[in-house]
């Protein structure tokens, strides 16, 4: 599901299950309060939504 940072942000803003992680992930330039798939607890290390919500949301963008 690799995507642009902007797309991850737009998807997370529209996701009803977004749950912010308590610390920044491997991307050190990401702010802890940024709304993005990259800062969501449901986003795997392999860059996939564990709840399989990314594709339905991105189709509506």
pLDDT in tens, 18-55: 999 886 555 555 555 789 999 999 999 998 999 999 99
- pTM listed for this prediction: 0.78
On the 0-12 / 13-18 / 19+ scale of CB atoms within 10 A, 36 is: buried
The SS3 call for residue 49 is: strand
């Amino acid at each position: 599901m690799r995507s642009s940072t902007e797309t991850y942000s737009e998807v997370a803003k529209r996701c009803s299950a977004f749950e912010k992680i308590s610390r920044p992930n491997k991307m050190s330039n990401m702010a802890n309060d940024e709304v993005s798939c990259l800062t969501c607890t449901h986003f795997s290390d392999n860059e996939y939504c564990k709840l399989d919500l990314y594709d339905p949301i991105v189709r509506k963008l």
